Amino acid sequence: MEAALVLSAALLHHHPARVINMPPVIYVPRKLPGIIRCPVDANPPVTSVKWEKDGYPLRVEKYPGWSLLPDGSIRVAEATEDSLGTYTCVPYNALGTMGMSPPATLVLKDPPYFNVRPGGEYRQEAGRELVIPCAASGDPDIPSITWRKVGKPSRSKHNILPSGSLQFLSLSKEDHGEWECVATNVVTSITASTRILVIGTNHLHSALTLLSLRALSPTLNSGRLICVSMVFD
């Protein structure tokens, strides 16, 4: 009896495929790869999606560089004027469909671009200030700038200045590693990478240590200055 109730409850949650929250406008980056999505809720999972463009059945294979993804989305290899139009989709699963999506108009937008890129590498002593420049533009929208540390996130305090630059008021060993400046607008994000090498300032956290050693020799008694350069891992 209990197993039957569980099965009955599971069946109640099954429903035909349906479109949820189809946006009225689909933004795609101009002359870059883009995705035209059909946001679907389906249980059991969606099995196919049929598309229309400007009221006519869309044959994806007729467009060079276009392909239909497993989830029913359309991948556009390079968005051009041919992509413009009004799109609708109808998703299906084993129980059928709940109908067509609202129409969505495709709009081409220029991706953001960097007008100031960070340098490839920055070396600075721990405890000192470091500012890494980054700025991006777009037309007509000004992209937002964020920064992220690749791999293990940094727990130290850092700021993003209004210009988009990354500021460390007091650099720490947590900041050592690769960082990315990310510029984002409504269509896509672009990244520029840099690397921070933190140089220590004391014997506990040294990244640059000067060792003065006396090198004795049977034929020569002179001093040598050996520079040992290390950075935090």
Q: What is the pLDDT of residues 168-192, one digit of tens each?
A: 999 998 999 999 999 999 999 999 9
What is the residue extent of each domain of the chain?
A: 2-109, 113-202
Backbone angles phi, psi at 84, to 5 degrees: -65, 145
Q: For residues 211 and 226, is the Cβ–Cβ distance under 8 A?
A: yes
CB 191 within 8 A of CB 111: no
**Higher per-residue pLDDT: 216 or 99:** 99
Domain 2-109: give its CATH superfamily. Immunoglobulins (2.60.40.10)
Beta bridge partners, 177, equal 196
Pair 143, 119: CB distance under 8 Å: no
Contact 85, 132 (CB under 8 A): no
In which element (H, E) is residue 11 found?
Answer: helix 2-12
Mean per-residue pLDDT of the chain: 84
- CA distances (Å), 71 to each of 35, 36, 75, in order? 11, 11, 11
113-202 belongs to which CATH class? mainly beta
Residue 227 scores a pLDDT above 80: no
Sequence length of the chain is 233
41: tokens are: 């809720």
Report phi then psi at 83, rounded to 5.
-80, -20
User: pLDDT at residue 76 above 90?
Assistant: yes
Decide whether 2-109 matches 113-202 in CATH topology: yes
In degrees and rounded to multiples of 5, residue 205 shows phi and psi of -130, 55
CB 89 within 8 A of CB 50: yes
Q: What is the pLDDT of residues 40-71, one digit of tens each?
A: 999 999 999 999 999 999 999 989 999 999 99
